[in-house]
Structure 1
Amino acid sequence: MANVSVAAEWQLLYNRYYRKPELYPMRWKHIDLSRNKVACAPFGGPIAVIRDDSKIVQLYAESALRKLRIFNSAGVQISETVWKHPGGRLIGMAWTDDQTLACLVQDGTIFRYNIHAELVEPSISMGKECFEQNVVDSVFWANGVVCLTESQRIFCVADFKNPKPHELAEPGLEDSAPLCMAVIEPQYVMSGNVEVLLGVTEGGLVVVEEDSVQRVETVGGEVLGPLQKLAVSGDGKWLAAFTHDGQLLVMPTDFSEIKFACNCESALPPEQLAWCGMDSVVLYWDDMLLMVGPIGEPVRYLYDEPVILIPECDGVRILSNSSMEFLQRVPDSTVSIFKIGSTSPAALLYDALDHFDRRSAKADENLRLIRSSLPEAVETCIDAAGHEFDVSRQRTLLRAASYGQAFCSHFQRDRIQEMCKTLRVLNAVRSSEVGIPLSIKQYKLLTPSVLIARLINAHQHLLALRISEYLGLNQEVVIMHWSCSKITASLAIPDATLLEILLDKLRLCKGISYAAVAAHADKNGRRKLAAMLVEHEPRSSKQVPLLLSIGEEDTALAKATESGDTDLVYLVLFHIWQKRPALEFFGTIQAKPLARDLFITYSRCYKHEFLKDFFLSTGQLNEVAFLLWKESWELSKNPMASKGSPLHGPRIKLIEKSQGLFSETKEHNFESKAAEEHAKLLRIQHELEVSTKQAIFVDSSISDTIRTCIVLGNHRAAMKVRTEFKVSEKRWYWLKVFALATIRDWDALEKFSKEKRPPIGFRPFVEACIDADEKGEALKYIPKLADPRERAESYARIGMAKEAADAASQAKDGELLGRLKLTLSQNTSASSLFDTLRSSFQGVS
């Protein structure tokens, strides 16, 4: 009996059954669809209604103000707003993929509203040409729109997220307006651009793309007459067209053939033409709905009130003033169970449950009949349950599946559980208060995460949270949106109270971004609440930037320092540096060692002057002195600081300043003295460069300066440097000996050796002569060497073996003889001489 009552509601279109269950009685009042423009979103989305300003209508008791009202699919009002837009008549409106309502007016402006009837800024313009020429028609799709102007030009916005209007190719319609217009969405076109189909009065189609226009006058050898109405299938592959002589044609969108044609018995074009899934086409005239399939007689449904067709992926929703229905092909699983006279395994299993409930033995008989097909019967019952909108029928089908599963050994146990889960979610969102009548196919295509996003946007936060928890999805997105919405809507609640309300929910989700909620509070002018919220953010990388944006610089610095993240500390430092006066900034960082050290490190490289101010403000004069000294060295690297350059003047002044600062503290006596002498030496060197016109003195040592002076013959200058810097006599002798040897002034060297007994002895004289390869000059000084060892080695170095041997014999040093032998290894007679001497020493010992 149950089978009869279920199947009695179906209509047969050739060999396929269709059903049209009522989803909701509409809960709105005084809404007449014929007096309004209506936009319905697919996937059970919201309905937008606004009075049609192109019709003269009686106002009844309503206000003369035009209102845009938004309802859910059950007719429960979600929001409303007064329509205030100038720009002419409303040409068209539609819902985008993200459930934003796009409204196109006559001057080519698109105003966008969210589901709460709040205007989304900015509005989009279709361009100057649309503004000047007026828009007369439009077609929307998921995220775009094409519009037709009075001068028959077509403009397109392909993506509302990147709204750049552009004109398509000139369709060449002259002055005759097209009879109808449809689009093939970019995702179904090879070029990736939208394709516009125009039905024209002379017959056939004009296909307009970005840069091409194609005339389609014949399809499969048949001439196309004028087309009055067009509809493209959901997958972009098929086109349904209603002709001037009352025929419905279905053809592929490559126009290769006419797949089928059906005479509709009316030459009057339908008000609406829509695809019912992919199986049939629905046409609507003011009192009749006609469903046409590829074979067989069409099915008629009569209506005494206006309806709106809403195409879905698996059917078409039918909205009237009083109800929302869903016309769909009956799923195969449902047909196999409920078809009158069905003896399929699933029908017998469903029947067996009925007998079992009535305690009849026929239940066991039915099970024995289908034992080999029991898993298939269970699967069919589960599938049929998924396609049902009636909750009691869902329950009965699932009980039948569960009953059959008890006798199956190899059936997947979690299939029923999965279906129960899915149906609980679907039943929750189908309730009239939520009003999202999704079928199971639509739900799978939409995905749970998108459904939750839509619930959130409709402020159904509790339901979204429960579904997320039930399906094991991330709840963070729900709680975040709820928190931000709560802040926006709770302007009268004190900060401390609202904080506790928010924390109560935010704590449900580990790792949630308190900083993002705090940022929203700050954006809404609740800075104190933002500061309190950000305290709970565990991630410094999110906490610190927000503290800076709400003006909590000191707290941000403390948090950044605690984190030990030098990048974060630098972020805060630079922020405070720009905002605060220097002295206040110095005071802030002085108390934070890490921040202070990082500031000093950075400033040493890039901000010397600012760092000097910091050290002066904190009384670190020695640090300032070191900086000045470093600056003096930086000046020396300047390529202009040569050849008696005046840049040496500032260098010397910098060193003198640093010397003055070093002298302020006893701990830096050495540095003070060094700086003083450095300045004095630089001054002398600068003067020497000026007088000699040679850039060879500056930045050389005292010793090098003296040596250079002697080499240049400027003995007076050398003596002056010696006197100024108290150069010791021994050092003076060394420098002068080697300087005179360098310029090979042997007479001067000899004269110098005779001035008095040299304090360094005569060895440096010998070495200087030998190094200059002047053996004769060396012989003047070798006999004057007091130590026989030194004499022996010096003679050996200039190749005088006998004299070396004589001196060595005086020293009586066997080791020395071995060294001399090595020095004179090339000389065979010398080697035997040293061997003889060594033998005689050993004999004596």
Structure 2
Amino acid sequence: MKQLSDDWFALGPSYYRRLTLYKPTLTNLQNSNHFLISIGGCGGLIAFLQKPKQSGNSLLIITTAAGKLFVETTWKDAPPVAISWSNSEELVVVQKSGYATMLNLNGTFNRRFSFGKDAENSQIIDAKFFTHEGRTAVAVITGNSQIFIATSLERPRILAVASELPLVNRPFVWQVVSSPAPGDFAAFKGPWILLAFEKYIHRLGVGKAIKIDVQNPGGQEIRFSNYHRLALSPNEEMVALYLDCSVLRVFSLVSGGGLEVRMELDLSARAAALGGGISDNNRVSTLPSGLVWLDNSTLALQWSNFVVVVDMEKNIYELFYPSLVHIQPEIDGLRVLTLSSHEIIQRVPHELECLGRIGASSPAVHLFSAYREWLAGSGRAHEFLRPVLTSPNAAREMHGAVAACLRAAAHCAPTSTDAQQNLLAAAHFARGFLSLLLAAPSAKNVDCSMIDSLSEMTIQITTILRLLNSLAVEWVGMALTWKQFESLGPSTLLDRLLASKHYPLAVELVHTYQKLPSKIPEHIQVRRSGITRILCHWVKSLPLSQSASPGDAVNVTLARRLSAIIDRCGISPGTDGGVCFATVAETAISCGQTALAERLLELEPRVASQIGLLMRLQRYEQALSRAVQSGDMDLLLAGVLQPLLEGSDARLEPTALSMLLRKHPIALALYRQYLEGNANFSESRTLPKGKLASQVLAVLQQEVDPSLATQRTVREAFASKDPAQRSDILIRAKDAYHQMKLDFLAHVCYV
């Protein structure tokens, strides 16, 4: 059986692990130095944008994390300076021309914004991406040494940073700090710049610049010309600087604006051995090409195809790769990308380290060891279980051991499915012992609801692990660790799956959260509207239908596919986790899929949601019929009759409308009542609001009940203030009633 620590390495007292996610074959990127590279966080896509060439356009290649080609297109815009994936899953390209352009996952244009006229005129020479208040932001340096910060990509607000340093064609390194600087400095409350220029370090804020003096530890003077690399820790409390004399220094940001040296390490001998990269002037360079923080206490340095991991206690671990390396920080470690491998280096999660580290001793370790011995058919299994079973708190210790195995299994995702299975099996193995321990007299003060909590934890972890293992397969290419999965959130993950058109996995994601009793608002939203979002995206991806007839072969095929999808989703309409077919139908109407929209409206159980869309589709008879069947008179009147007869966009002739109303006696009677009610309370002669409604009323009065016209004549007579006109009208009404043999009403009309 594979050991939990097979892919671990020790760095001082801590353990780190190399997770080999994929082994891509990037044959079209043989020289990655010619590309700007950005790896999407939490298993996102990888973008390769070719650096500007002397002639011709650059190439933009987007692949999955497994190296599978997603998009390949030509970059025809201004030369790029830097690229990065934003928190909203957009590819941001900072251009030399002074603009930042946002592309969607398919590499097509979304929008852009300018950093101002100064940036456009002097051009951008460098850019840095950072996160500010949960949003992706970017800072740029222009050709005249000005610095601008866009605090948000959605609503960019450009800040000008104070700087008088001549940065053009001079060596400098810099980074953006998004948190307020220690000390009482109003200029450094928002994003500010930490810049190392020549031998000095500067803090640059909005309207203020400060030069920081760095004291050498022990009073020793280090000879160097400039700073070569700068990296800011994830918590923005420490900064690492690599000097051109191959000395690594780590400072902490202290109150008052100073820098306090926390660690200094001379890497000159090691750098000479690891060097071998070729610099711009074709001489051998011993300086690293990358410096990033792996976590808040560990750094990673890169030399061409070497990665060196260093902690604050000066412990060092070297990793060799057969080809050039690109490193990029991840939320829980460091991503290492080569032409033939994609790895994550991270500190071993505490839940897993407790079970796998050398010399570990705990109830969970005893349980896991006992399970492995039992699986091998060894009698030593009982020896490992004895310390737990004979403990005075045996039930509590066994409960903790089962929970520890479950949590450790969660952190084995996404690479080690064998370890997941073994840890889950060990937890299941212990459930029988736990039931016996809870039934023992010594456990009378133990809460038996612990079994229920373990059951809920088991369901949650196994359900999510099943999803993570499905996402990690090579043809999907979205390998996520447990922490990345929690950080990404289901809504963003669902959008990512839909953009890749992995509809079955999107359905599995929604089903996963429907099984979990989570009360987090984002989880509830995905649980309730996830299937609706999937269907809306599927409708948008369909080619435009050439025929609106439901009997058309293409529309029949779409209807069958829709039925198959609904069956596959396994969710009936109207339930808490059901589908809002009206929303999907509205999307279908906007995409020109009218026949599909009609089919979707047939599945919508809420009549009120159907009526408005049927009116948009000009399916007046269906709208009238369903409104009558609902028994809701307010809906029938306000949703169908009034828009149908009084709307400015009604397209039926009066006779056709009257025939339509005669097919539904309830609707006809209701509309007559509505018109007559308006007549009783109206001082004007115009009863309804539209000319079409008056024409329809006249047709109905002539065809159905002639006495209604005479009644209207009598009302007109009594409304008239001219006695002669009133007398003439009443005489005509009397004659009409006599012809209809309504003598009583005729007698009323005598003047």
Please, what TM-score do these two structures have when normalized by structure 1? 0.67
Structure with the larger RCO, 1 or 2 (CA within 8 Å, 6+ apart): 2
After TM superposition, the structure 1 = structure 2 runs for residues 333-344 of structure 1, keeping only pairs within 5 Å, are 333-344=351-362
Structure-1 residue corresponding to 2:548: none
Deviations for 1:44-99, whole angstroms, at most 9, x for unmatched residues?
1111123222589xxxxxxx76442221111112233333x33x201222212232
**For residues 376 and 252 of structure 2, what CA distance do their matches in structure 1 show?**
53
1:657 to 1:500, Cα distance in 2 relative to 1, 3 A: farther
- 1:489 alignment partner, SS class: coil
Contact 2:51 2:79 in 1 (8 A): no
My pick for the range that moved more, 22-31 or 187-196, is 187-196
Contact 1:622 1:661 in 2 (8 A): no
Structure-2 residue corresponding to 1:489: 542
1:247 to 1:578, Cα distance in 2 relative to 1, 3 A: same
**For residues 475 and 616 of structure 2, what CA distance do their matches in structure 1 show?**
40
Contact 1:251 1:260 in 2 (8 A): yes
After TM superposition, the structure 1 = structure 2 runs for residues 43-192 of structure 1, keeping only pairs within 5 Å, are 43-53=42-52, 66-83=58-75, 85-86=76-77, 88-117=78-107, 119-141=108-130, 142-161=135-154, 163-173=155-165, 176=168, 179-185=172-178
1:657 to 1:436, Cα distance in 2 relative to 1, 3 A: farther
- 2:106 alignment partner, SS class: coil
Please identify which structure carries the higher strand content. Answer: 2
Structure-1 residue corresponding to 2:503: 461
**For residues 291 and 627 of structure 1, what CA distance do their matches in structure 2 show?**
97
**For residues 639 and 2 of structure 2, what CA distance do their matches in structure 1 show?**
72
**For residues 656 and 201 of structure 1, what CA distance do their matches in structure 2 show?**
107
Structure-2 residue corresponding to 1:277: 295
After TM superposition, the structure 1 = structure 2 runs for residues 634-673 of structure 1, keeping only pairs within 5 Å, are 652=721, 657=725, 660-666=728-734
Kindly state the Cα deviation for residue 466 of structure 1 after the two structures are TM-superposed: 2.4
Structure-1 residue corresponding to 2:441: none
- 2:144 alignment partner, SS class: coil
After TM superposition, the structure 1 = structure 2 runs for residues 653-802 of structure 1, keeping only pairs within 5 Å, are 657=725, 660-666=728-734
Deviations for 1:754-796, whole angstroms, at most 9, x for unmatched residues?
xxxxxxxxxxxxxxxxxxxxxxxxxxxxxxxxxxxxxxxxxxx
1:392 to 2:418 alignment: yes
1:406 to 1:516, Cα distance in 2 relative to 1, 3 A: same
Structure-2 residue corresponding to 1:824: none
Structure-2 residue corresponding to 1:761: none
Q: 1:12 aligns with which of 10, 13, 24?
A: 10
**For residues 112 and 717 of structure 2, what CA distance do their matches in structure 1 show?**
60
- 1:204 alignment partner, SS class: strand
Contact 1:186 1:194 in 2 (8 A): yes
**For residues 463 and 201 of structure 2, what CA distance do their matches in structure 1 show?**
50
Structure-2 residue corresponding to 1:217: 212
My pick for the range that moved more, 580-589 or 236-245, is 580-589
Task: Please tell me the residue identity of whatever aligns with 2:424.
Answer: L
After TM superposition, the structure 1 = structure 2 runs for residues 254-265 of structure 1, keeping only pairs within 5 Å, are 255=257, 257-258=259-260, 260-265=262-267
**For residues 249 and 186 of structure 1, what CA distance do their matches in structure 2 show?**
19
Contact 1:24 1:74 in 2 (8 A): yes
Contact 1:541 1:568 in 2 (8 A): no
RMSD over aligned CA atoms reads 3.9
- 2:93 alignment partner, SS class: strand
- 2:73 alignment partner, SS class: strand
1:27 to 1:585, Cα distance in 2 relative to 1, 3 A: farther
**For residues 568 and 454 of structure 1, what CA distance do their matches in structure 2 show?**
42
Q: 1:505 aligns with which of 561, 565, 568?
A: 565
1:546 to 1:181, Cα distance in 2 relative to 1, 3 A: farther
After TM superposition, the structure 1 = structure 2 runs for residues 293-304 of structure 1, keeping only pairs within 5 Å, are 293-304=311-322
**For residues 5 and 475 of structure 2, what CA distance do their matches in structure 1 show?**
29
Kindly state the Cα deviation for residue 165 of structure 1 after the two structures are TM-superposed: 4.1
Kindly state the Cα deviation for residue 445 of structure 1 after the two structures are TM-superposed: 2.6
Task: Please tell me the residue identity of whatever aligns with 2:594.
Answer: R
1:364 to 1:490, Cα distance in 2 relative to 1, 3 A: same
Deviations for 1:227-259, whole angstroms, at most 9, x for unmatched residues?
443333334444333345432324248655536
Task: Please tell me the residue identity of whatever aligns with 2:252.
Answer: M
**For residues 187 and 530 of structure 1, what CA distance do their matches in structure 2 show?**
53
1:582 to 1:338, Cα distance in 2 relative to 1, 3 A: closer
- 2:105 alignment partner, SS class: coil
Kindly state the Cα deviation for residue 129 of structure 1 after the two structures are TM-superposed: 4.1
My pick for the range that moved more, 577-586 or 331-340, is 577-586
Kindly state the Cα deviation for residue 40 of structure 1 after the two structures are TM-superposed: 0.8
Please identify which structure carries the higher helix content. Answer: 1
**For residues 330 and 115 of structure 1, what CA distance do their matches in structure 2 show?**
32
Deviations for 1:153-205, whole angstroms, at most 9, x for unmatched residues?
344443333x3442334433356478233233479999985444333346212
After TM superposition, the structure 1 = structure 2 runs for residues 284-433 of structure 1, keeping only pairs within 5 Å, are 284-371=302-389, 372=391, 373-388=397-412, 389-408=415-434, 409-410=437-438, 412=451, 413-414=454-455, 415-433=457-475
Structure-1 residue corresponding to 2:278: none
Task: Please tell me the residue identity of whatever aligns with 1:321.
Answer: L
1:247 to 2:229 alignment: no
After TM superposition, the structure 1 = structure 2 runs for residues 196-211 of structure 1, keeping only pairs within 5 Å, are 196-201=193-198, 203-208=200-205, 211=206
**For residues 235 and 659 of structure 1, what CA distance do their matches in structure 2 show?**
94
- 2:292 alignment partner, SS class: strand
- 1:143 alignment partner, SS class: strand
Contact 2:250 2:262 in 1 (8 A): yes
**For residues 578 and 183 of structure 1, what CA distance do their matches in structure 2 show?**
58
Deviations for 1:370-408, whole angstroms, at most 9, x for unmatched residues?
433544444433333222231112222333333344333
Contact 1:616 1:624 in 2 (8 A): no
1:590 to 1:491, Cα distance in 2 relative to 1, 3 A: closer
Deviations for 1:497-525, whole angstroms, at most 9, x for unmatched residues?
21232133336432322222222222222
Please, what TM-score do these two structures have when normalized by structure 2? 0.74
Structure-2 residue corresponding to 1:550: 617
**Percentage identity across aligned positions?**
22
Structure-2 residue corresponding to 1:784: none
Deviations for 1:250-271, whole angstroms, at most 9, x for unmatched residues?
4248655536223252596533
Structure-2 residue corresponding to 1:814: none
**For residues 88 and 468 of structure 2, what CA distance do their matches in structure 1 show?**
20
Deviations for 1:6-46, whole angstroms, at most 9, x for unmatched residues?
54643322211212131211144332322222211111111
- 2:139 alignment partner, SS class: strand
Contact 2:367 2:401 in 1 (8 A): yes
Structure-1 residue corresponding to 2:712: 623
- 1:45 alignment partner, SS class: coil
**For residues 488 and 444 of structure 1, what CA distance do their matches in structure 2 show?**
29
Task: Please tell me the residue identity of whatever aligns with 2:470.
Answer: A
Structure-2 residue corresponding to 1:231: 231
Structure-1 residue corresponding to 2:274: none
Contact 1:455 1:463 in 2 (8 A): yes
**For residues 143 and 352 of structure 1, what CA distance do their matches in structure 2 show?**
49
**For residues 531 and 204 of structure 2, what CA distance do their matches in structure 1 show?**
45
Contact 2:86 2:136 in 1 (8 A): yes
Kindly state the Cα deviation for residue 320 of structure 1 after the two structures are TM-superposed: 0.9
Contact 1:561 1:595 in 2 (8 A): no
1:395 to 1:629, Cα distance in 2 relative to 1, 3 A: same
- 1:407 alignment partner, SS class: helix
Contact 1:659 1:672 in 2 (8 A): no
Structure-2 residue corresponding to 1:566: 634
Structure-1 residue corresponding to 2:275: none
Higher CA-based Rg: 1
- 1:335 alignment partner, SS class: helix
Deviations for 1:323-352, whole angstroms, at most 9, x for unmatched residues?
011111123343343334545544443332
Q: How many residues align?
A: 638
Kindly state the Cα deviation for residue 418 of structure 1 after the two structures are TM-superposed: 3.7
1:319 to 1:605, Cα distance in 2 relative to 1, 3 A: farther
Deviations for 1:633-667, whole angstroms, at most 9, x for unmatched residues?
xxxxxxxxxxxxxxxxxxx45x7656544443125
Kindly state the Cα deviation for residue 580 of structure 1 after the two structures are TM-superposed: 3.8
Kindly state the Cα deviation for residue 462 of structure 1 after the two structures are TM-superposed: 0.6
Kindly state the Cα deviation for residue 491 of structure 1 after the two structures are TM-superposed: 4.7
